[in-house]
Protein backbone atom coordinates (compact mmCIF):
# COMPACT_ATOMS: atom_id res chain seq x y z
CA UNK A 1 0.00 0.00 0.00
CA UNK A 2 3.05 2.26 -0.07
CA UNK A 3 2.79 5.76 1.29
CA UNK A 4 -0.95 6.20 0.86
CA UNK A 5 -3.31 5.93 3.81
CA UNK A 6 -7.07 5.79 3.73
CA UNK A 7 -9.29 6.04 6.75
CA UNK A 8 -11.38 4.55 8.08
CA UNK A 9 -11.09 1.00 6.73
CA UNK A 10 -14.79 0.36 7.29
CA UNK A 11 -17.50 3.01 7.42
CA UNK A 12 -21.20 2.66 8.09
CA UNK A 13 -23.75 5.39 7.46
CA UNK A 14 -27.47 5.87 7.31
CA UNK A 15 -29.09 6.74 4.02
CA UNK A 16 -29.38 10.49 3.51
CA UNK A 17 -26.16 11.38 5.34
CA UNK A 18 -23.10 12.80 3.69
CA UNK A 19 -19.84 11.04 4.51
CA UNK A 20 -16.21 12.01 3.88
CA UNK A 21 -13.47 9.50 3.12
CA UNK A 22 -9.89 10.45 3.88
CA UNK A 23 -6.88 9.94 1.60
CA UNK A 24 -3.36 11.06 2.49
CA UNK A 25 -0.08 10.41 0.65
CA UNK A 26 3.54 11.10 1.52
CA UNK A 27 4.98 10.15 -1.88
CA UNK A 28 5.24 13.75 -3.04
CA UNK A 29 2.93 12.93 -5.93
CA UNK A 30 1.09 15.74 -7.64
CA UNK A 31 -1.73 13.61 -9.05
CA UNK A 32 -4.37 11.85 -6.97
CA UNK A 33 -7.38 9.75 -7.91
CA UNK A 34 -10.54 8.28 -6.45
CA UNK A 35 -11.98 5.03 -7.76
CA UNK A 36 -15.06 3.07 -6.90
CA UNK A 37 -14.92 -0.73 -7.02
CA UNK A 38 -18.02 -2.90 -7.32
CA UNK A 39 -18.01 -6.68 -7.81
CA UNK A 40 -17.61 -7.63 -11.45
CA UNK A 41 -17.20 -4.02 -12.61
CA UNK A 42 -13.56 -3.34 -11.95
CA UNK A 43 -12.47 0.16 -11.03
CA UNK A 44 -14.34 3.24 -12.13
CA UNK A 45 -12.82 6.69 -11.88
CA UNK A 46 -14.78 9.18 -9.77
CA UNK A 47 -12.52 12.26 -9.63
CA UNK A 48 -8.88 13.07 -10.16
CA UNK A 49 -6.60 15.97 -9.41
CA UNK A 50 -3.27 16.86 -10.98
CA UNK A 51 -2.49 19.91 -8.90
CA UNK A 52 -3.56 21.61 -5.69
CA UNK A 53 -6.86 23.49 -5.94
CA UNK A 54 -7.79 21.80 -9.21
CA UNK A 55 -9.66 18.59 -9.96
CA UNK A 56 -11.66 16.99 -12.78
CA UNK A 57 -14.63 14.70 -12.96
CA UNK A 58 -14.07 11.10 -13.90
CA UNK A 59 -16.56 8.67 -15.37
CA UNK A 60 -18.98 8.52 -12.41
CA UNK A 61 -18.72 11.84 -10.54
CA UNK A 62 -22.44 12.35 -9.89
CA UNK A 63 -23.23 12.33 -6.19
CA UNK A 64 -19.59 12.84 -5.16
CA UNK A 65 -17.46 15.87 -4.36
CA UNK A 66 -13.75 16.38 -3.66
CA UNK A 67 -11.32 19.05 -2.56
CA UNK A 68 -7.57 19.43 -2.99
CA UNK A 69 -6.38 22.09 -0.57
CA UNK A 70 -3.06 20.36 0.11
CA UNK A 71 -0.80 18.28 -2.08
CA UNK A 72 -0.89 15.42 0.42
CA UNK A 73 -4.64 15.18 0.87
CA UNK A 74 -7.59 14.44 -1.43
CA UNK A 75 -10.76 13.78 0.59
CA UNK A 76 -13.87 12.40 -1.09
CA UNK A 77 -17.38 13.26 0.08
CA UNK A 78 -20.16 10.83 -0.77
CA UNK A 79 -23.31 12.93 -0.74
CA UNK A 80 -26.90 11.89 -0.18
CA UNK A 81 -27.42 12.39 -3.92
CA UNK A 82 -25.37 9.28 -4.70
CA UNK A 83 -28.02 6.64 -5.32
CA UNK A 84 -25.94 3.52 -4.62
CA UNK A 85 -23.09 4.57 -2.33
CA UNK A 86 -22.30 1.17 -0.85
CA UNK A 87 -18.97 0.14 -2.40
CA UNK A 88 -15.23 -0.21 -1.88
CA UNK A 89 -13.46 3.12 -2.47
CA UNK A 90 -9.82 3.28 -3.53
CA UNK A 91 -7.53 6.28 -3.56
CA UNK A 92 -4.40 6.37 -5.72
CA UNK A 93 -1.60 8.75 -6.58
CA UNK A 94 1.04 9.18 -9.27
CA UNK A 95 3.43 11.72 -10.65
CA UNK A 96 1.60 13.98 -13.08
CA UNK A 97 0.77 11.94 -16.19
CA UNK A 98 2.70 13.08 -19.25
CA UNK A 99 2.64 11.43 -22.67
CA UNK A 100 6.40 11.57 -22.94
CA UNK A 101 6.79 9.90 -19.55
CA UNK A 102 5.09 6.48 -19.64
CA UNK A 103 6.03 5.64 -16.05
CA UNK A 104 3.86 8.54 -14.98
CA UNK A 105 0.83 6.33 -15.62
CA UNK A 106 1.88 3.93 -12.87
CA UNK A 107 -0.48 4.54 -9.99
CA UNK A 108 0.05 3.70 -6.30
CA UNK A 109 -3.01 2.64 -4.34
CA UNK A 110 -4.15 3.01 -0.76
CA UNK A 111 -5.71 0.11 1.19
CA UNK A 112 -9.28 1.23 0.51
CA UNK A 113 -12.37 2.15 2.52
CA UNK A 114 -15.43 -0.08 2.49
CA UNK A 115 -18.53 2.10 2.81
CA UNK A 116 -21.87 0.58 3.74
CA UNK A 117 -24.99 2.73 3.63
CA UNK A 118 -28.22 1.36 5.05
CA UNK B 1 -11.52 5.68 -27.02
CA UNK B 2 -9.55 3.16 -25.07
CA UNK B 3 -10.87 -0.03 -23.53
CA UNK B 4 -9.65 -3.23 -21.96
CA UNK B 5 -11.34 -6.60 -21.58
CA UNK B 6 -10.66 -9.47 -19.25
CA UNK B 7 -12.80 -12.26 -20.72
CA UNK B 8 -12.62 -14.58 -17.72
CA UNK B 9 -14.21 -13.64 -14.38
CA UNK B 10 -12.62 -16.67 -12.71
CA UNK B 11 -9.55 -18.80 -13.39
CA UNK B 12 -8.76 -21.93 -11.40
CA UNK B 13 -5.41 -23.68 -11.59
CA UNK B 14 -3.67 -26.37 -9.57
CA UNK B 15 -0.60 -25.43 -7.56
CA UNK B 16 2.57 -26.02 -9.55
CA UNK B 17 0.81 -25.70 -12.91
CA UNK B 18 1.35 -22.76 -15.24
CA UNK B 19 -1.24 -20.00 -15.10
CA UNK B 20 -2.52 -17.50 -17.66
CA UNK B 21 -4.84 -14.57 -17.05
CA UNK B 22 -6.09 -13.03 -20.27
CA UNK B 23 -6.32 -9.37 -21.25
CA UNK B 24 -7.16 -7.72 -24.58
CA UNK B 25 -7.20 -4.02 -25.30
CA UNK B 26 -8.32 -1.43 -27.80
CA UNK B 27 -6.55 1.90 -28.39
CA UNK B 28 -6.07 4.38 -31.19
CA UNK B 29 -2.32 4.68 -30.88
CA UNK B 30 0.21 2.55 -29.08
CA UNK B 31 -0.75 1.11 -25.69
CA UNK B 32 0.79 1.47 -22.31
CA UNK B 33 -0.29 -1.70 -20.46
CA UNK B 34 -0.29 -2.58 -16.78
CA UNK B 35 -1.13 -5.49 -14.49
CA UNK B 36 -2.16 -5.02 -10.88
CA UNK B 37 -3.05 -7.54 -8.17
CA UNK B 38 -5.52 -7.09 -5.32
CA UNK B 39 -5.71 -9.23 -2.19
CA UNK B 40 -8.99 -9.28 -0.20
CA UNK B 41 -9.96 -5.91 1.27
CA UNK B 42 -6.69 -4.33 0.16
CA UNK B 43 -5.61 -1.80 -2.43
CA UNK B 44 -4.09 -2.68 -5.77
CA UNK B 45 -0.41 -3.56 -6.05
CA UNK B 46 1.56 -2.96 -9.24
CA UNK B 47 2.91 -6.13 -10.90
CA UNK B 48 4.38 -5.09 -14.23
CA UNK B 49 4.02 -2.81 -17.23
CA UNK B 50 4.67 -2.72 -20.94
CA UNK B 51 5.67 0.60 -22.46
CA UNK B 52 7.94 -0.29 -25.36
CA UNK B 53 10.70 -2.74 -26.23
CA UNK B 54 10.69 -6.48 -25.57
CA UNK B 55 7.30 -8.10 -25.89
CA UNK B 56 7.93 -10.28 -22.85
CA UNK B 57 7.84 -8.24 -19.66
CA UNK B 58 8.96 -9.61 -16.32
CA UNK B 59 7.47 -8.34 -13.07
CA UNK B 60 7.10 -9.00 -9.38
CA UNK B 61 6.61 -12.42 -7.72
CA UNK B 62 7.68 -14.38 -10.81
CA UNK B 63 4.93 -13.02 -13.04
CA UNK B 64 5.47 -12.09 -16.67
CA UNK B 65 3.27 -10.82 -19.47
CA UNK B 66 3.50 -11.07 -23.21
CA UNK B 67 2.53 -8.14 -25.40
CA UNK B 68 1.07 -9.24 -28.74
CA UNK B 69 0.29 -6.30 -31.00
CA UNK B 70 -1.39 -8.31 -33.76
CA UNK B 71 -3.77 -9.92 -31.29
CA UNK B 72 -4.04 -6.76 -29.12
CA UNK B 73 -3.40 -8.87 -26.06
CA UNK B 74 -1.34 -8.63 -22.90
CA UNK B 75 -1.81 -11.93 -21.08
CA UNK B 76 -0.35 -12.41 -17.61
CA UNK B 77 1.57 -15.65 -17.04
CA UNK B 78 3.48 -17.56 -14.41
CA UNK B 79 5.27 -20.87 -15.02
CA UNK B 80 4.36 -22.45 -11.67
CA UNK B 81 1.41 -21.19 -9.62
CA UNK B 82 1.43 -20.87 -5.83
CA UNK B 83 -1.58 -20.95 -3.51
CA UNK B 84 -0.50 -17.47 -2.36
CA UNK B 85 -1.05 -16.19 -5.93
CA UNK B 86 -4.79 -16.47 -5.35
CA UNK B 87 -6.11 -12.93 -5.73
CA UNK B 88 -7.99 -10.56 -8.04
CA UNK B 89 -5.99 -9.41 -11.06
CA UNK B 90 -6.62 -6.26 -13.07
CA UNK B 91 -5.31 -5.27 -16.47
CA UNK B 92 -5.17 -1.55 -17.33
CA UNK B 93 -4.41 0.43 -20.49
CA UNK B 94 -3.56 3.96 -21.48
CA UNK B 95 -3.53 5.11 -25.10
CA UNK B 96 -0.24 6.82 -25.97
CA UNK B 97 -1.99 8.97 -28.58
CA UNK B 98 -3.28 11.30 -25.91
CA UNK B 99 -6.95 10.85 -26.69
CA UNK B 100 -7.72 9.65 -23.17
CA UNK B 101 -6.78 11.28 -19.92
CA UNK B 102 -6.28 8.39 -17.56
CA UNK B 103 -5.91 4.64 -17.16
CA UNK B 104 -8.82 2.36 -18.02
CA UNK B 105 -9.09 -0.79 -15.91
CA UNK B 106 -10.58 -4.14 -16.83
CA UNK B 107 -13.28 -5.78 -14.76
CA UNK B 108 -10.84 -8.09 -13.03
CA UNK B 109 -10.16 -11.85 -13.00
CA UNK B 110 -10.32 -13.85 -9.79
CA UNK B 111 -7.46 -16.35 -9.76
CA UNK B 112 -7.76 -19.34 -7.44
CA UNK B 113 -4.80 -21.67 -7.07
CA UNK B 114 -5.87 -25.01 -5.65
CA UNK B 115 -3.50 -26.93 -3.37
Residue in B with minimal Cα distance to A56: B101
Q: What is the pLDDT of residues B45-79, one digit of tens each?
A: 999 999 888 899 999 899 999 999 999 999 999 99
Confidence of residue A1 (pLDDT cuts 50, 70, 90): very low
A4 neighbors A23 (Cβ within 8 angstroms): yes
CA-CA distance, B24 to B35, in Å (whole number)?
A: 12
Q: What is the pLDDT of residues A27-84, one digit of tens each?
A: 999 999 999 999 877 899 999 998 999 999 998 999 999 999 999 999 999 998 888 9
How many CB atoms lie under 10 A from the CB of residue A43? 27
Query: Which chain B residues have a beta carbon less than 8 Å from that of A25?
Result: none
CA-CA distance, B66 to B99, in Å (whole number)?
A: 25
Q: What is the dihedral of CA A33, A34, A39, A41, to 10 degrees?
A: -60
Q: Which helix (H) or strand (E) holds A20?
A: strand A19-25
CA-CA distance, A53 to A50, in Å (whole number)?
A: 9
Query: CA dist B85 to B42, B59, B115, Å?
Result: 14, 14, 11
B107 neighbors B92 (Cβ within 8 angstroms): no
CB neighbour list of residue B61: distance below 8 Å, 6 or more residues apart:
B47, B78, B85
Query: Among A9-13, B40-44, B83-87, whose mean pLDDT is lowest?
Result: B40-44
pLDDT at B30: 86
Chain B residues whose C-beta sits inside 8 Å of any chain A C-beta: 6, 9, 32, 34, 36, 41-46, 49, 51-52, 90, 94, 96, 98, 101-103, 105-108
Whats the size of chain A, residue-wise? Answer: 118
Amino acid sequence: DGGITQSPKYLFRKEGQNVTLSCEQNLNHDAMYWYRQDPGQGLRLIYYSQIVNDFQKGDIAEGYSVSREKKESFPLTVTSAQKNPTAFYLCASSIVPRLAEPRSYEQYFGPGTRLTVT
Amino acid sequence: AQSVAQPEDQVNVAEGNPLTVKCTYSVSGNPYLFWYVQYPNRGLQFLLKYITGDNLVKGSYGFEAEFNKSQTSFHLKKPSALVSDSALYFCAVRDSSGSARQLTFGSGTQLTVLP
